[in-house]
Structure 1
């Protein structure tokens, strides 16, 4: 809105300048009726000045060039700002599209990473890491669905999502229970977690995404099987 108002103001100023220029170009003709030196001075001035239709046409062309240049500059600035905003707050993939998309580093692993048990997680927000926090996850291999619950500095949350043993990815929806934890951060909103297994770090890594009417953000997220839970699972498998 501010850009439009400034653009209209520039047009009004340009129109006033052109109007004043045309008005000065037609003045001074009253001296043409006098004879002698005074009349000759007026005629000499008009020979080198701008008169008639061509003067107005030239001013119009200049005005069009100026206005066109200003409009083009505004358009370029608008496109740059729009591209930056979309890059900053770009949308994430749907859960099925993300989970089924094979990673460039995708490979076969000897061990299944999707173990039911206690997991620990941490996330990056406001220029620092938060956590680790504990949550329980249960994986259903028949339906490729995962569910769970946990608590962090935001409050109590529930987990629902999908996973794929072929792509080693999972997409989780972390939904906070309102009126728990931090009332300034927790509005009962969902958080999308898109994670890929990292064999080198022995954990899932990816991003969290929040899209609400009051806040849009994203950041790093890490999830790994808790050491205690991992030991318990190994004992049960022995």
Structure 2
């Protein structure tokens, strides 16, 4: 995806240059006076250095370059934002969640999850989770539209927070997906975000996890 955007940006820049050269003109070189001569050279120089869009193609090209530039800035801004570690997340109780109570939502068994990416939800997908109350650890496995995955993570009963690492052994180029969710008893589900952040790519989105009662 990055390569395609880069190629598209290069094409837009080249089109902009070609368009600018096709409409650029030359100023008058008549030496009617010393001041007029230098004024004419200055105007001519500015025309050759920069020529604003004057055709529909020029306006479209300029708008496309601006959009891609803003997308690049947004991507760089996301990469600079630190993601809290799973350990810090599960212990953080500074944010009070509406509908949270003293029930124990950490139940071993079958769960269903869905994640938000590319402007839509994917799922629900079934997975199995096993909670170790002595170590406050969780393990599991499942399958989604990417492939088979295994899960490991931790949780805290005093904050009702759950943090998972989702690993695809054969897919996703070895990337781990970090999941950080907290319990919402009103909807009887965990809600939060998933994150992917490597030196090659970064992305995030909403994540929901719900226990399947039988």
State TM-score, norm by structure 2. Answer: 0.63
Shift of residue 211 of structure 1? 1.3
Aligned length: 174
Specify every segment of 5 or more residues in structure 2 that has no aligned partner in the other structure, as ranges: 1-33, 36-69
Q: Is the 8 A contact 2:138 2:154 kept in 1?
A: yes
Q: In the alignment, which residue of structure 2 is the partner of 1:177?
A: 169
Q: For the residues of structure 2 that align with 1:171 and 1:147, how far apart are their CA atoms?
A: 11
Q: In the alignment, which residue of structure 2 is the partner of 1:16?
A: none
Q: In the alignment, which residue of structure 1 is the partner of 2:149?
A: 157
Q: For the residues of structure 1 that align with 2:96 and 2:83, how far apart are their CA atoms?
A: 18
Q: For the residues of structure 1 that align with 2:169 and 2:182, how far apart are their CA atoms?
A: 26
Q: For the residues of structure 2 that align with 1:210 and 1:124, how far apart are their CA atoms?
A: 13
Q: Is the 8 A contact 1:99 1:164 kept in 2?
A: yes
Q: Is the 8 A contact 1:119 1:135 kept in 2?
A: yes
* 1:1-238 matched pairs, under 5 angstroms: 84-85=74-75, 87-89=77-79, 90-102=81-93, 103-105=95-97, 109-178=101-170, 186-226=172-212, 230-231=213-214
Shift of residue 214 of structure 1? 3.0
Shift of residue 100 of structure 1? 0.5
Over 3 Å counting, the alpha-carbon distance change for 1:110 and 1:176 in structure 2 is same
Q: For the residues of structure 2 that align with 1:214 and 1:88, how far apart are their CA atoms?
A: 13
Q: Is the 8 A contact 1:122 1:132 kept in 2?
A: yes
Q: For the residues of structure 2 that align with 1:135 and 1:146, how far apart are their CA atoms?
A: 12
Q: For the residues of structure 1 that align with 2:96 and 2:73, how far apart are their CA atoms?
A: 26
Over 3 Å counting, the alpha-carbon distance change for 1:120 and 1:145 in structure 2 is same
Over 3 Å counting, the alpha-carbon distance change for 1:83 and 1:163 in structure 2 is same
**Aligned partner of residue 113 in structure 2, secondary structure:** strand
**Aligned partner of residue 173 in structure 2, secondary structure:** coil
Shift of residue 83 of structure 1? 7.4
Larger radius of gyration: 1
Q: For the residues of structure 2 that align with 1:142 and 1:127, how far apart are their CA atoms?
A: 39
Cα RMSD (Å): 4.4
Q: For the residues of structure 1 that align with 2:162 and 2:77, how far apart are their CA atoms?
A: 24
**Aligned partner of residue 200 in structure 1, secondary structure:** coil
Q: Which structure has greater helix proportion? A: 1
Q: In the alignment, which residue of structure 2 is the partner of 1:234?
A: none
Shift of residue 154 of structure 1? 0.6
Structure of greater relative contact order (alpha carbons < 8 Å, 6+ residues apart)? 2
Specify every segment of 5 or more residues in structure 1 that has no aligned partner in the other structure, as ranges: 1-23, 26-79, 180-185, 232-238
Shift of residue 81 of structure 1? 9.2
